[in-house]
Amino acid sequence: MFLPDVDTMTAVLYFGLFAMSFDFVSGYTGYLSFGHAVFYGTGAYFVVLAANGKVPLVPYDAPFLLLVVLGGVLAVVLSLLIGVVSFRLSGVYFAMITLGFSQVLYVFVRDWDYVGSSPRDGPAVVGPPDAVAPSFNVGIPGVDALNLAIGGLAGDSIEGLFGVVNLSSTEVTYFMAGLVVLVCYFAMQRLVHSPFGRVMVAIRENEERAEAVGYDPFRYKLAAFAVSAFFAAVAGGLFAGVRRSVSPDNSLFFLVTGDALLASIIGGFGTLAGPLYGRLFDESVREFLSKEGAGGGLLPYLRNTLPEGVLQTETIGGLTVQEGIGAFLNGHAALYIGILFVLFVLYVPNGILGTVRDRLGATTVAKWAGARLTSGGDGGSVRASSED
């Protein structure tokens, strides 16, 4: 009932994946990668440019999943270049040098007219000059029957599967994007729970000690950064695939990293699934405060339930209640999310998921989930499992 509509939920999925990848490196190794949007943008731009036939050697109608993976590989190369320089620094300096790199790329792409006729607004998927734009399929490449196209208007819809299941193209997009995000989540979760993940946490807790034990922190940090960049680019590719367009300001700008940070903190820094909940929370608040409020918004509710007399009542400075609602609630969710964020930093430093785990006890959650899932992930946090 309070969940946002399907379009917004799709955005929660791909942006949640980006926030997760941000948390993978920042939450687990403690190095705040403040220019992480650069990898998200790399993935997004790669998919759009390749589909427009502008990437050399890559055919414009290459399978979408292949483009996403190639975008990820490109991001890995980029992350190694940035990481080799940046990981000589720590703390605030690391945050700033990664921010510096990302801003250089942001400004460069914003003025690079190769990407489209107006690079400031960013390119859309239009296909090469003499061909139609390709559709983006999620599924097993090469097997037509096991592919479904994503994208709000361009995607597939399903009618009468098993006689009952009917899905609109937005719903198909939601489920297929969810499938990719789920696979990526399990992959990252596997890494976090592996010995590799344990070393990442060791670096976060005490880097000197990790080194003294015999690990080379630099190589581990670089590897974590590269893995994170790969999944950030996958998230960006998914974002471009769903939206079928990209702009510098919604992919490469430093405030995009800020949004990921927001999601991580609210959801739980250093809990892999946390950022997804954080983003869900974030989007729900936005939707709740928006004018339409598809998920049962506050504004239509107030407009319908408050009597006319109250709405016309004047408050301070001749401002009627109705005008006040319009001025302070309509489209200003950022204010309330900002206030919530500050409150979370002050009073709930572990975020939603971290706090829930602390309250219930991570082992309890792990056991509970383990009892229900006889095979596969244990659902707990790093602290949960000691048997590896």
Partner 1 sequence: MTGLGIDLVVAQSLVDGLGQFLRPSTLFSVLVDGLAKSALFLMIATGLTLIFGLMGVLNFAHGSLTMIGAYLGGLIMVLTVSQGTPNGTRLAVFFVGLFVVFGVLAALGGVIEVGLIRPLYDRPPIYQILLTFGVTLVLDELVRIVTLFYDIQPVADWQAALGTKPTWFTDPVDLGLASVRGLALFEILFGVATVVAVWAFLNRTRYGLVVRAGSEDSEMTEALGIDVRRVFTVVFALGAGIAGVAGMLLMWDKNWGASVPLAAETLLPAFVVVIVGGLGTFRGTVYAALIVGLADAVTTWWFINVVDLTFLPEVVVFAILVLVLVVKPRGLFGLAEVGGH
Contacts with partner 1 by CB under 8 A lie at 30, 32, 85, 88-89, 91-93, 95-97, 99-101, 103-104, 107-108, 110-111, 254-255, 258, 261, 265, 327-328, 332, 334-335, 337-339, 341-342, 345-346, 349
For residue 334, the minimal CB distance to partner 1 (Å) is 4
Listed residue (264, 258, 285, 257) closest to 344, CA to CA: 264
Residue closer to partner 1 (CB basis): 149 or 261: 261
Residue closer to partner 1 (CB basis): 204 or 367: 204
Residue closer to partner 1 (CB basis): 20 or 329: 329
For residue 116, the minimal CB distance to partner 1 (Å) is 15
247 alpha carbon, distance to own chain's centre: 16
Residue closer to partner 1 (CB basis): 246 or 337: 337
For residue 84, the minimal CB distance to partner 1 (Å) is 10
> b/e map of 257-290 (b: 16 or more CB within 10 Å)?
bebbbbbbbbbbbbbbbbbbbbbbbbbbbbbbbb
Q: 196: buried, middle or exposed (CB in 10 Å: 19+, 13-18, 0-12)?
A: middle
Residue 127, by phi and psi: left (phi above 0), alpha (psi -120 to 50) or beta? left
For residue 194, the minimal CB distance to partner 1 (Å) is 25
Residue closer to partner 1 (CB basis): 310 or 327: 327
For residue 207, the minimal CB distance to partner 1 (Å) is 13
The letter for the amino acid at 2 is F
For residue 342, the minimal CB distance to partner 1 (Å) is 4
Residue closer to partner 1 (CB basis): 23 or 378: 23
Residues in contact with 307: Cβ distance below 8 Å, sequence separation at least 6, in sequence order:
none
The letter for the amino acid at 308 is E
Residue closer to partner 1 (CB basis): 212 or 346: 346
For residue 282, the minimal CB distance to partner 1 (Å) is 11
